[in-house]
Structure 1
């Protein structure tokens, strides 16, 4: 029981350490990694090299695939460009297996001590140090877990268990055990590390280890498909690429061993020689061979890999909505052009706003999945534009351009808030089995106002003035409706509470529409801005007169 507890504790420390290390490393180098991956699209080999570095740093091919998936959905590069990077991420994970094959116990102890002293001295008060200290802590825990795993089997009766294993493990069973272990741990490197520990304890031979590692490699690919079952479209395409890397690696290495055996050579002797006669090093070399053998053909034949992935997971409505149409990293060299592109992207988001609301007056209210995909895609585009503006500001620009960029950031934040408000309002309206008359009227009125905003976006100032008037203050009317609803049901009816919530969301959405119209109405030069403020004051006076009437 002590041996089992030590191995399980080691696995737990390994999982926690890798998670902590990946999280803090992403915080410390997130933007740098993204820039590195964006520059990796020049050639398949460049992408493979960048992916290998990213996989080596994070020790997680899944993390590399997730970052690439977000960049693909954000339109930074296409699935075709991301394929070599994802393939290289698998190669980078071999670093952990090589570390497990060497004796690093003394290094682990000193690393744990160093991390502990840095926290004791409160060096984490500086944000830059805090993230790297987190990386050190994660690495220390992961290495400590590896040490537990390696030394756990030391107390096992070697001769008895070795006899049982040699008599009971067939190549097919070993392959199945490796497949199952990787499916449970969601990793091919973790079962391989366990194999290294068993070999070090002289409980396993190189022949059985070969089939265990082969099964673990293949099983991790299908484990990714299971864990990503909720994804669709481009978000799932890179998961299929991950599977292709694993399948290709297993087929090529397995075929090579079969051909060598048929030719009269001893492939296991060759593998032992590649590891310098050390079985643990031979397993590490085998794991690396599997990753390289799978990554190279997939990266070099990325067009074929993309076609297979797109056939298995075609793009969805959300993917199309989540892809920016105008902003481009190269446009940052010219701030004026970059700001125009950001404005066009924001106007496109405004034109999509009516798609977030159901058309209750039509024959069909519309597809709820399309609305959900449009909302998620619009949120991704808004975030991409926000990052684009932040990078633009960080690179420096003239004072007037800076003022426009800050103004546009404020407008974009309002648009993002309106997107979420319309989505919440739609969910409330769709929550009714039969939409009550008040809910119907609120939905149609809001849809008319949003349609007017979408039509007026980018149009003449007079059209925006109409929107500003149309979206005037309705707080008195809405408060009267709330009081009537509260008095009619005393807050006990579910539909009444939903209507009250819908009323609040309606009021918020109208206020946001007016704020966006005012922001769009604001000219880009200070002289015209004063006239705009005066016009806005006149409109408020007209609205006040209307309310008094």
Structure 2
């Protein structure tokens, strides 16, 4: 039972240390590092370097993929740059695999001892000390766990059932391959499974041929894990996740045939002059070669793979329509004048879409015209509005506004009012849809459409309509109150349920109508 206890304790410490290390490193992938990654990802070589850095920090393909998706969604990365960063992040995860190929138990014990001394010195009283202790303890637990797994593995060599299990797995290459794939789907990390393969090989439990197949299966499983976890995504984020899976598949598709052509991994290593190297180092090297081959191979046929991704995960119409076209985090935010101009253009493009929010209520006027589902349109439009706001804030951080500060505040004020206006318009559509056929509903909707059209002309088309816009957005509280009183009279409690429901929808819509008119005035004259 001691060998089992060593192995389980080591596995528990290793996994706990790995999770704690990932948690501690999250602070290193905060806004500053994200901005650094975005700036480094300007060209292919620098983007690959950013991917290596990201993989080394996260030590998880899945975590790296989600960081890339977040950077892509925030506009910090272009799609082409995100593909390169994501592909080379897998290479960065090989750091821990190489670390596992050396004797690390003593290093782990020293690291845990250092955290104890740091606690005695009360370093945990300051934030920096807490981060230091947490990081060193996570590293210590991880390395100690690896050492215990090796110690337990050496004892497991004497276990009959362990030997029989790996002999059975080695009888068929497919079994070892699938074992690596399935275990990776469970632990969500090919590096973790590869580390275990290296560790068990050092303990003499896992032969080299089985370790190689286990690592290849783990690589495929890692890509499949990202694809499965992101199954709820669509459009470009989904394409990036599928790309990660294709990168892993490409690496295995390149390396495995080479091993087969050479007549086995031992013969291939002999051809390369690696037979004198320690076996664990050779397994770790295989993991690295798989990741590099995947990144280079996928990059070589990137255009064709992107075309495939676009067919597998097409961009939704709403996302495409409201994708940013002017704002660019990597360059424009560093020059305030340029940033203000581009943010203003993006705002005006979003404002031109305001009248179309009412399309679901104006189908009689849009016969034959395809309209976007209201929920999808709302999410996409508000997402673009949020991106504009983040871009303005980023420009403020990157520059010194000086005498341009009032212009920045005016742009930000209009963006906030524009967001509220969009939300109110979508609330209006949702409230009025059940009673959209009524004369009052049609009248209010057409009035709003006219007001929004005049707003677009006033702000976006250089056709000043200030006087007309002020008249159209004047206070209508008395008129709307009379309408509400009439609705309550027309639909008493004795009226049929449908009439009462329509009246309730109209009552709610009249209140939102007043708010929309007021918000139009705020957007039109923001900053004045």
TM-score, reference length from structure 1: 0.79
2:61 corresponds to which residue? 61
Q: Distance in 2 between matches of 1:113 and 1:481?
A: 74
Shift of 1:303: 2.9
Contact 1:16–1:142 (CA<8 Å) still a contact in 2?
no
2:411 corresponds to which residue? 408
Q: Deviations over 1:101-136 (max 9, x none)?
A: 341312441464477579874313xxxx4xx95586
Q: Distance in 2 between matches of 1:417 and 1:147?
A: 54
Contact 1:429–1:439 (CA<8 Å) still a contact in 2?
yes
Q: Deviations over 1:237-280 (max 9, x none)?
A: 21222122101111111122112217x9623667994783242x
Contact 2:177–2:216 (CA<8 Å) still a contact in 1?
yes
Shift of 1:394: 2.9
Q: 2:217 aligns with which of 215, 224, 237?
A: 215
Q: Partner of 1:359: helix, strand, or coil? A: helix
1:229 corresponds to which residue? 231
Q: Partner of 1:210: helix, strand, or coil? A: helix
1:392 aligns with 2:395: yes
Shift of 1:349: 1.1
1:512 aligns with 2:490: no
1:158 corresponds to which residue? 157
Q: Distance in 2 between matches of 1:394 and 1:133?
A: 28
Q: Distance in 2 between matches of 1:478 and 1:141?
A: 64
Q: Deviations over 1:301-321 (max 9, x none)?
A: 433333332333333324423
Q: Distance in 2 between matches of 1:139 and 1:375?
A: 46
More displaced stretch, 458-467 vs 291-300:
458-467
Alpha carbons of structure 1 residues 112 and 367: separation in structure 2 relative to 1, 3 Å:
farther
Q: Distance in 2 between matches of 1:197 and 1:499?
A: 70
1:534 corresponds to which residue? none
2:421 corresponds to which residue? 418
Q: Deviations over 1:362-385 (max 9, x none)?
A: 237986755444433333333333
Q: Which runs of 5+ in 1 are unaligned?
A: 523-549
Note the 1:304-453 alignment, pairs <5 A. Answer: 304-328=304-328, 329-332=330-333, 334-363=335-364, 370-397=373-400, 399-429=402-432, 432=434, 445-453=447-455
More displaced stretch, 159-168 vs 7-16:
7-16
Aligned CA RMSD, in angstroms, stands at 3.9
Contact 1:21–1:134 (CA<8 Å) still a contact in 2?
yes
Q: Partner of 1:266: helix, strand, or coil? A: helix
Note the 1:8-407 alignment, pairs <5 A. Answer: 9-10=12-13, 13-14=16-17, 16-27=19-30, 30-42=31-43, 44-73=44-73, 78-102=78-102, 103=104, 104-110=107-113, 112-113=115-116, 121-124=124-127, 129=128, 133-134=130-131, 137=134, 140-141=137-138, 144-145=141-142, 147-148=144-145, 151-152=148-149, 154=152, 157-159=156-158, 160-169=160-169, 170-261=172-263, 266-267=267-268, 273=274, 276-279=277-280, 281-328=281-328, 329-332=330-333, 334-363=335-364, 370-397=373-400, 399-407=402-410
More displaced stretch, 178-187 vs 73-82:
73-82
More displaced stretch, 282-291 vs 393-402:
393-402
Contact 1:61–1:90 (CA<8 Å) still a contact in 2?
yes
Q: Deviations over 1:435-490 (max 9, x none)?
A: 77776665555444334323332356852343333233445566677787699569
